[in-house]
Chains A and B, each alone.
Chain A
Amino acid sequence: MNNRFLALSLGILLAGTTTGCSNNVDELTLVTYSSFPAADTDLNDALAVFTDDTGITVNILNAGDTGTMVTKAVLASGNPEGDVMWGIDNTLLSRATAADVFEPYVADAASTFDAQLVGLGDGIVTPVDFGDVCVNYDRSWFADNGLEPPTSLDELTDPAYKGLLAVQHPGTSSPGLAFLLSTIARLGDGWASYWQELVDNDVLVTNDWEEAYYGAFTRAGGDRPLVVSYGSSPPFEVLYGDDPNASVAPTGVIEDTCYRQVEFAGVLRGTEASDEARQLVDFLVGSTFQQHIPLNLYVFPVADVELDQVFVDHAVIPETPPALTPTEIDTGRAEWVEQWIDITG
């Protein structure tokens, strides 16, 4: 009896010391998707500021594309590969929350962000950036052919634009899924007949974004001057183009077609450094880090930071309809995609 009591109290004491130990964590692992730069960008320099402030080094672990990263996190739920995850988006979030991947934590700063974006995180994760998937058009093609570019989703079915649009397969491509969601969010049940009209108007479906943007798009030598891409594509066409001071971007965005994708950061459940992980999430939504997001990740910051002039000049941040919630997307997706396949067959 006495012995058992002793063992018990010793056990509690030991448990106490081990938790005590985690106070001097000097390393955190940030799990990210593959397009997050591993080194040598302003984002990485910003993370070094975090290290200077806290003494904690941040290791970047590249877990594959977003889908792969989330699938892995679900399998490793409770015994995560790192401490904080960057970049899970609203189409995949409910899959992760259903598997308890995250330890709920929302940064205090989120109270100053767009409430709609914060709401999508459902009190479990913090939004870190957002971007739009929109139909882009090739300005010079439309000028050369004496045609006005379409201005709305509806106009894409106009016979004047027959055979001009390229989209991606929503079953395999992330912007392809976003564009399908855009039609569902805007048209409700009418989305199916809308897609039938797009098919009648000879829409081209490619398997992925590269094939559409770098293959079918007229700017790449293809024959489609309208392509589903990102709202941030035009500023990057300028920024990475021959003339970074061009007054007009070579491509434009049809605002009425846009669909917002939101990315989140969260503390991974099972981390041994919960407090430090929360500190890192706070840092990721602070202005030191947020100001470098557009140029390095091609999306917009959630924090109120000044944008580079090229984004002020060439980017549009359109009014988009309320995004579908992560749960709506997760429950509806499989059926929508199957229906979509039947329509576009």
Chain B
Amino acid sequence: MGRAMDRHHGLNQPPRWFISATTIPPTVIALGFVLVPVAMLIVHAISIDAIGSTFTDSRTWEVLGFTTLQATLSTLATVTLGIIPGLIIARSDFRGRQLVLSMFAAVFVMPTVVMAAGVRALLPGDPDGLLPIVLAHTLFNLAIIVRGIAAAPLPTELERAATVLGARPTELFRTITLPLLRPTLLGLSAVVFTLCFTSFGIIRILGSSTATTIEVEIWRETIIVGRVDRGVVLALIQLVTLALALVVWLNVRRRQAPHRHGYRQPISRKSAFVITASCTLVTAPLLALIYGSFTVNGKLSASGWSNLLDTSIRPGLRLGIDPAQAIVTSLTTALIATGFAVVLAVLVIASTAASPQLGRAIDLSAMLPLGISAVTLGLGLLITFDVPPVDWRASSLMVPLGHALIAAPFVIRPAIGALSMLNRQQVDAASTLGAHPVRALAHSVIPVVAVPLLSGAGFAAAISLGEFGATSMLSRSGGETLPIVIERLLSRTGGDFRARAYGLSIILASVTMGIVVALDMSSNRRRR
């Protein structure tokens, strides 16, 4: 067998140690921090009784049905709404392009409570159920589609040629643009589908007893009702369903189309209108946020802002909440989490470049943390890392590590996508001409993945900054992250706490935009 492989790849295969060095660490992390803890919890808690009662309970299937329905509709809506603005941004040069792109990312990290309030403002009279859920998911995830398409290079020459030959715009879109875009779109929509399928925060606010997801049911059974055994059965059902959906999806995706770089042109008036419209849509919740930060007890007031960083109400009356420290904690956490995620991504990219078969398996397993319920993983970590020398239950690195696991797919997937554009003949030629296989690989891979890696790092930082669910499941001592502090402020009576929470949300959104803009700009400079 080894010989057959050798014949295929000839002399240019990178050495075995390189493949091991890049494959083993991500595998160990995926196994140790995701699979083993989840398996431990399942083994610990599962019972025949729970399997029987969960599978025969008609509610399980109703919830699974609704979960799938809302995730499918949300994905369709997100792709439909995101594709045109994404394409326009991809191929137009206009002032504020970076700002528009980063604005989408800022919406992505908005606290769910605030997004829900924004959606309610847009849909008065119908506060709960399918429509508001789909709308909220669409607004949240538009960033993934728009930024993903904007980052994917499209060969504009083909379209130009077709236009010269007299193709109408709709025809052009259907016969040329869409087929070229298909692999990118399928990859991005898989991520959106996964996020909507496992949605938690939005469903807890905008859902109801019947309009709910498996992820929320897992939480309800485990935390509220205290039936951990039923919780793990539901977690298994969620994981298996999602894995099946993703395998189908990614198989469609494998038929990749070749990519080449295109170039940007000035924006047309029609395109400018589309961009303005989609910006208005995503900024609606942001505007609701700003308005809320200036409203105290139904009246306009700036006290939320003037008291924003206060740790006490007045001398002698302390709050026990320190927003300034939370900003520092959030930034530190995001820095460590992004570092973790990028290191993981670099290893995965290196092993994918060296051995495409191996890479595909890792690429799939990197999606895993997104499909696993935060409740299940959090409790799994609790019972796995509970004996010395690995009693890490309250380690301050647990939170950034959790964030990194959640963010890693967002760094890995676009980079892997870019890798498919890698010209393998060039790599082979370089090593035939005497370059060390690892060197040859590095020389050809780095320029291709640097841009998606940098923009992925920005997204990872954004995800860490906005993360709430997993953080709230992990035990922690010391500093709280900003989303947790926002939640704590929102759960207090009296005063201007809500305005302060909204003000802090704006700070969170601005910091996120800043980081994303900075990384996007530096990756743009590299592109030129």
Complex: how many Å from CA A118 to CA B491? Answer: 28
User: At the interface, yes or no: A51 with Cβ under 8 Å from chain B?
Assistant: no
**Is there a chain B Cβ closer than 8 Å to A317's Cβ?**
no
- Known contacts A62-B477, A72-B475, A67 near B224 by CB under 8 Å: yes
**B117, B476, B493, B496: the one within 8 Å of A215 (CB):** B117
CB atoms of B223 and A233 under 8 A apart: no
| B223 and A239 form a contact (CB under 8 A) | no
A64 to chain B, nearest CB (A): 6
Chain B CB within 10 A, most for which of A37, A75, A171, A244 = A75
Q: Find out whether the CB atom of B494 lies under 8 angstroms from the CB atom of A62.
A: no
The one of A37, A39, A61, A229 that contacts B475, using a Cβ cutoff of 8 Å: A61
B224: which A residues are within 8 A, CB to CB?
67, 171-172
CB of B386 within 8 A of CB of A239, answer no
For residue A220, CB closer than 8 A to chain B, the reply is yes
Specify the chain B residue showing the minimal Cβ separation from A204.
B127
Q: In the complex the two chains form, what is the Cα distance from A35 to B491 in whole Å?
A: 9
CB distance from A139 to the nearest CB of B (A): 12
B491 with A64: CB separation less than 8 A: no
Instruction: List, in ascending order, chain A residues with CB within 8 A of B320's CB.
Output: 37-41, 43-44, 296
Contact B209 A220 (CB under 8 A): no
Q: Which residue of A lies closest to B45 (CB)?
A: A75
* Complex interface: chain B residues within 8 A of A233 (CB): 493-494
Q: Tell me if A341 is interfacial: C-beta within 8 Å of chain B.
A: yes
Which of chain B's residues have a CB closer than 8 A to the CB of A35?
A: 488, 491
Cβ A207 vs Cβ B205 within 8 A: yes
8 Å CB contact of A334 from B204, B225, B394, B488: B225
Partner of B311, one of A40, A81, A220: A40
Q: Which residues of B contact A244 (CB under 8 A)?
A: 314
State which of A31, A221, A237 has its C-beta within 8 Å of the C-beta of B298.
A221
Q: A68: CB under 8 A from chain B?
A: yes
Cα A38 to Cα B475 in complex, Å, equals: 13
Residues on B with beta carbons closer than 8 Å to the beta carbon of A70: 226
Contact, CB under 8 Å: A74 / B297: no
In the bound complex, CA of A172 to CA of B217 (Å): 11
Mark A216-240 against chain B: 1 for CB-CB distance below 8 A, else 0.
0011110000000110110011111
On chain A, the residues within 8 Å of B5 by CB distance are none
B472 within 8 Å of A (CB atoms): yes
| Bound CA–CA A240/B499 (angstroms) | 13
B128 (CB) vs chain A CBs: closest residue = A207
Give the chain B neighbours of A240 by CB distance below 8 A.
313, 492-497
Cβ–Cβ < 8 Å partners of A76 in chain B = 382-383, 386
B478 within 8 A of A: yes
Residues of B within 8 Å of A220, CB to CB, are 297-298, 498
A214 cross-chain contacts in B, Cβ below 8 A: 490, 498
Q: Given A61-B394, A71-B222, verify A236-B491 contact (CB < 8 Å).
A: no
Q: Complex Cα distance A81/B476, Å?
A: 11
* Contact present for A68 and B472 (CB under 8 Å): yes
Quick check: is A65 within 8 A (CB to CB) of the other chain?
Answer: yes
A177 to chain B, nearest CB (A): 9
The residue from A40, A67, A172, A211 contacting B318, defined by CB atoms under 8 A apart: A40
Question: Chain A residue with minimal CB distance to B222?
Answer: A71
Residues of B within 8 A of A62 (CB): 475-477, 480
Query: Which chain B residues border A333 with CB–CB below 8 Å?
Result: 225
State the Cβ distance, A136 to closest chain B Cβ, in Å. Answer: 9
A171–B220 CB distance below 8 A: yes
Report B413-450 CB contacts with A as 1/0, cut-off 8 Å. Answer: 00000000000000000000000000000000000000
A59 touches B477 (CB 8 A): yes
Whole-angstrom CA separation of A71 from B480 in the bound complex: 21
Given contacts A38-B477, A61-B477, contact A172 B393 (CB under 8 A): no
Interface contact B322-A40, CB-CB below 8 Å? yes
Instruction: Say yes or no for A42: interface residue by CB 8 A criterion.
Output: yes
Residues of B within 8 A of A219 (CB): 297-298
Do A75 and B379 touch across chains, with their CB atoms under 8 A apart?
yes
- Contacting residue for B204 out of A208, A295, A296, CB 8 A: A208
Instruction: Indicate if B176 sits at the interface (CB-CB under 8 A).
Output: no
Say whether A241 faces chain B, with CB atoms less than 8 Å apart: yes
B317 within 8 A of A: yes
Chain A 52-97 residues near chain B, CB threshold 8 A: 59-65, 67-68, 70-72, 74-76, 79, 81, 92, 95
B207 pairs with A207, CB closer than 8 A:
yes
Interface residue tally for chain B (C-beta within 8 Å)? 58
Separation of A43 and B320 alpha carbons in the complex (Å): 9
User: Cβ of A171: which chain B residues have Cβ within 8 Å of it?
Assistant: 209, 220, 224
Complexed CA–CA distance, A211 and B44 (Å): 36
Are B494 and A239 in contact, with the CB atoms below 8 A? yes
Interface hits, B192-236 → A, CB 8 Å: 204-205, 207-209, 220, 222-226, 228
* Residue B473 CB within 8 A of the other chain: yes
Question: Is B204 touching A172 in the complex (CB atoms < 8 A)?
Answer: yes
Please measure, in the bound complex, the distance between the C-alpha atom of A61 and the C-alpha atom of B128, giving whole angstroms: 35
A221: chain B residues within 8 A (beta carbon): 295, 297-298
Q: A61-B477, A67-B223, A172-B220 are in contact. Are A239 and B313 (CB under 8 A)?
A: yes
- Nearest chain A CB to B130's CB is how many angstroms away? 15
Could you say which residues of chain A place their CB within 8 Å of the CB of B476?
A: 61-62
Whether, in the assembled complex, A209 has its beta carbon less than 8 Å from a beta carbon of chain B, the answer is yes
Pairwise interchain contact B393-A81, C-beta atoms closer than 8 A: yes
| B117 and chain A: residue at smallest CB distance | A215
Which positions 447-499 of chain B face chain A at CB distance < 8 Å? 472-480, 484, 488, 490-498
Instruction: Verify B480–A38 contact, CB threshold 8 A.
Output: yes
- Cβ of A210 < 8 Å from any Cβ of B? yes
For the complex, give the distance between the alpha carbons of A92 and B387 in Å.
27
Closest to A296 in B: B320
Task: Give A282 to B148 CA distance when docked, in angstroms.
Answer: 58
Q: A-facing mask of B301-336, CB < 8 A → 1, else 0? A: 000000000010110011111100000000000000
Judge whether B243 is part of the interface by a CB distance below 8 angstroms.
Answer: no
B35 within 8 A of A: no
B135 / chain A contacts, CB cutoff of 8 Å: none
How long is the Cα–Cα vector from A199 to B117 in the complex, in angstroms? Answer: 25
Residues of B contacting A211 in the complex (Cβ-Cβ under 8 angstroms): 205
Query: Does A213 count as interface, using CB distance less than 8 angstroms?
Result: yes
Residues of A within 8 A of B496 (CB): 240
Q: A81-B475, A211-B205, A221-B295 are in contact. Are A75 and B228 (CB under 8 A)?
A: yes
How far is the CB of A300 from the nearest CB of chain B, in Å?
A: 15
Cβ–Cβ contact B204 & A71, under 8 A: no
Set of chain B residues within 8 Å of A67, measured between Cβ atoms: 223-224
Task: Return the 6 tightest CB-CB contacts between A and B, nearest first.
Answer: A37-B320, A240-B495, A240-B494, A221-B298, A236-B494, A41-B320
26 A-B pairs with CB atoms under 8 Å apart are A35-B488, A37-B321, A38-B478, A39-B320, A40-B318, A40-B322, A60-B477, A61-B476, A61-B477, A64-B475, A67-B223, A68-B472, A70-B226, A71-B222, A75-B382, A79-B386, A171-B209, A172-B220, A207-B204, A208-B204, A208-B205, A218-B298, A220-B498, A221-B295, A298-B493, A334-B225
Known: A39-B320, A67-B224, A207-B128. 19 other contacts (CB 8 A): A37-B321, A40-B322, A64-B472, A64-B473, A65-B223, A65-B472, A75-B228, A172-B224, A207-B204, A208-B205, A209-B491, A213-B493, A215-B120, A232-B493, A233-B493, A236-B495, A240-B492, A240-B497, A241-B495
Chain B interface residues (CB < 8 Å from chain A): 41, 44-45, 113, 117, 120, 128, 204-205, 207-209, 220, 222-226, 228, 295, 297-298, 311, 313-314, 317-322, 379, 382-383, 386-387, 393-394, 472-480, 484, 488, 490-498
Q: Which residues from chain A sit less than 8 Å from chain B, CB to CB?
A: 29, 31, 34-35, 37-44, 59-65, 67-68, 70-72, 74-76, 79, 81, 92, 95, 169, 171-172, 207-211, 213-215, 218-221, 229-230, 232-233, 236-241, 244, 295-296, 298, 333-334, 341
